[in-house]
Structure formats: C-alpha cells, structure tokens
Amino acid sequence: MVKQRFFQLDTEWNVIHYPEKPNGFGVLILGGEGHFVEEKNSYWIQHFGRNIWLKALLDAGYTVFYSNLYGNHWGSVKARELAENLYHYVIRHEILNERIHIIAEGMGALLIPEFVKALDKNIRTVCVINPYFSLREKIDEEKEQLFFYKKLLHEVKMANLGSPEQLQNQTEKPIQIWVFPQILSIFYVMEGNRTSSKKRIMEEIVDVRKEKQSHTLIHYILPERRNLIASLILRTFKNHEDL
C-alpha cells in the first residue's frame, strides 16, 4: 500500500499521507514558519515532534494532506486559494468524507477565517496550535528583534501583503472574523514572555464566539507536556464525527 503521495499544484509541492486502516475522514494541515513540502520530503516527516503527531493521526485512521503554500506566506490570498484548490483536489481523487478537520500551526492560522468562510460546511473542526490571530500581532512581536523584524517585513512584502509603511498604518482586523459555526480548539504551549498578551487575545475570541453560540476550547500546555497535543486533537475530532 502506498503510504504517501507527492504531487504539484501551481508549482507547489503537496503530499497526501495514507493510513493503513482509513476511517474515511481527512485532515488538512496548515503549517507554521519553517513548514515545507519538497519532492520527497516535508517538515512533518523530517521534524521529530511533528512526525510523532503525524503518526498518531495516521494510526487513528486519518488521511492527512498539506501543501508547501509558497513558504512563509503570512496569510496571503495566494496561499489561501492554493489551500482551497488542494482541498478540492483531494476530495475529487480520494474516498473521503467531504467535511474535513483542520490543524493550523502558528502562521497557518492566519488563513483560517477566510478559508473556513469559503469552504463553510465542508469544515468539521478547527484546531490551532500556538496560533497567530493577525499579521499585526506577529509584526508587533518581532519589533524588539531587528534582524527578525526585517526578515519578516521582507517575507510579507514577497507575499504581496504590503510595504512596511502600509503595514504600520494597517488597522487591526476585527476579532469577529474568528466567529464561525465550527468548534475552535486552541492549543497554546506556555513558553516565552508573551503568554499574557496571547492569553488576552484568546479570551477575547472566546467571548465574542460565545456571544454567537460558537463553541471554543482553550488548552494551556506546559512545554514538557506538548506531546499531549496529538491525543487532545484526536479527542476533539472524535467528538465531532457524528454530526
């Protein structure tokens, strides 16, 4: 049995991982910084921790797929459109339930609001790991480190998201863009010195989603317990597959 298949869409490499015992459900991964897919390799294959998570998903029967998405895209329209094309490609070519689960990490979460809006009822659950909820959040975070700040501005410019001047004057997108019917499960690993500001943003999202009766879960994870994330995600998936 073929364990994985690499292929190209719009010059970008993509991969589908096949479980030995499929359960009929698909999982789309929207990766974070450093995420990549090459002709015969990917971040989730090469990275020790992500490979453990990938194996957990496959052992549970999930068909897992993801794309290179033009590298560090920072939520660009081009990357979101490719993610949509990948979804439609996989649903056409694989025997899967049309309603998929999503795992987004870091930068990948920037694609979520518009992606979920576009695919609507074809999204079953959304799980985000150490997410950025807005590009402005990331820019403000890197201002203290000049090298990384300049690198980020270059990547943002290459993704056609605007010049440094435009980004500085850009108004923050309303937190309401994170209101959608699907359950949102947030996994935040508590490390570094930005936990308090991130916690405030997450609690604002919980409050505004609660007003619209959208279910949200926040999991605060100690760094040494990050291996629990895969099992918690699987529990979220299982709880929403009878709907």
Secondary structure letter of residue 102 according to DSSP: E
Q: Do 87 and 100 contact (CB within 8 A), yes or no?
A: yes
Give me the pLDDT at residue 165, please. Answer: 60
Domain regions of the chain by residue span: 4-134+177-238, 137-172
Query: Which spans in 99-215 are helix H?
Result: 112-119, 135-142, 146-158, 164-169, 195-211
Backbone torsion region of residue 240, taken as left when φ is above 0, otherwise alpha when ψ lies between -120 and 50, otherwise beta: alpha
Location of structure tokens 């501005």: 153
Q: Are 86 and 111 in contact (CB under 8 A)?
A: no
pLDDT tens digit sequence for 2-22: 699 999 999 999 999 999 999
Q: What is the pTM of this model?
A: 0.94
| pLDDT per position as a tens digit, 83-124 | 999 999 999 999 999 999 999 999 999 999 999 999 999 999
Res. 153 pLDDT band, cuts 50 70 90: confident
Q: Give the pLDDT confidence score for residue 168 in this predicted structure.
A: 57
pLDDT of residue 111: 97
Question: Which pLDDT score, from 0 to 100, does residue 101 have?
Answer: 99
22 vs 94: CA distance, rounded Å = 11
Between helix 146-158 and helix 135-142 the angle, nearest 10°, is 150
4-134+177-238 CATH, one of 3.40.50.1820, 3.40.640.10, 3.90.1300.10, 3.40.50.1010: 3.40.50.1820
Instruction: Give the pLDDT confidence score for residue 99 in this predicted structure.
Output: 98
By DSSP bridging, strand 123-129 and strand 183-189 are parallel
